[in-house]
Amino acid sequence: MKLRSLEEKIIPREKISELCNKLRASGKRIISTNGCFDLIHLGHISYLLEARNLGDILIVGINCDSSVKKLKGDSRPLQSESTRAKQMAGLESVDFVTIFTEDTPETLLGLIKPEIHVKGGDYLPENLPEKKIVESSGGKVVCVSMIKGYSTTQMIEKMKSNL
């Protein structure tokens, strides 16, 4: 099986709905997730693999730089949205990546219409703003396990303390 290039895996937002319709028409079960993914670590890799195993295609929504700054503070993101998207696209468990500009992924999820939207175990499905939009198209929200001790914020703090 030929692997897709990074460029082929990064889908412009305006083409994501068309891609998902084609995938679904060919019988693929679409899984989605989203996040900042500022520094990829073992927690992310494990989480993404578990998400991918729930279906046929995993689409990852990456927060744009301005939304990461709003969510995480002025010192973030550490890497540009383009770099973060390319790193995510380089992971075997990730089939496609797109960047979203809103603070939350509801609009993007309305385009993807995933069968399952995945978040980490540090969330409760009923508290997620995206739950309503996912369920409105017949999907469900699932929270998968997390490996304790791995978070980007913790990694940054540890790096700062070692300077």
What CATH number did the domain enclosing 120 receive?
3.40.50.620
Of 57, 66, 63, residue with least CA distance to 31: 57
Domain hosting residue 97, numbered range = 6-161
Domain assignment present for residue 101? The answer is: yes
Domain assignment present for residue 106? The answer is: yes
pLDDT value at residue 122: 77
pLDDT value at residue 53: 97
Separation CA 159–CA 163 (nearest Å): 7
Confidence grade of residue 21 (pLDDT, cut at 50, 70, 90): very high
Select the more confidently predicted residue: 162 or 70. Answer: 70
How high is the mean pLDDT of the chain? 91
Separation CA 100–CA 84 (nearest Å): 12
pLDDT value at residue 145: 81
Domain assignment present for residue 1? The answer is: no
Give me the number of domains the chain comprises: 1
Select the more confidently predicted residue: 163 or 10. Answer: 10
- pLDDT tens track for 77-115: 999 999 999 999 999 999 999 999 998 999 999 999 999
Give the number of residues written for the chain.
163
Q: Tell me what the mean pLDDT of segment 139-153 comes to.
A: 81
Nearest-10 Cα torsion for 17, 114, 13, 129: 130
pTM metric for this prediction: 0.91
Separation CA 62–CA 37 (nearest Å): 7
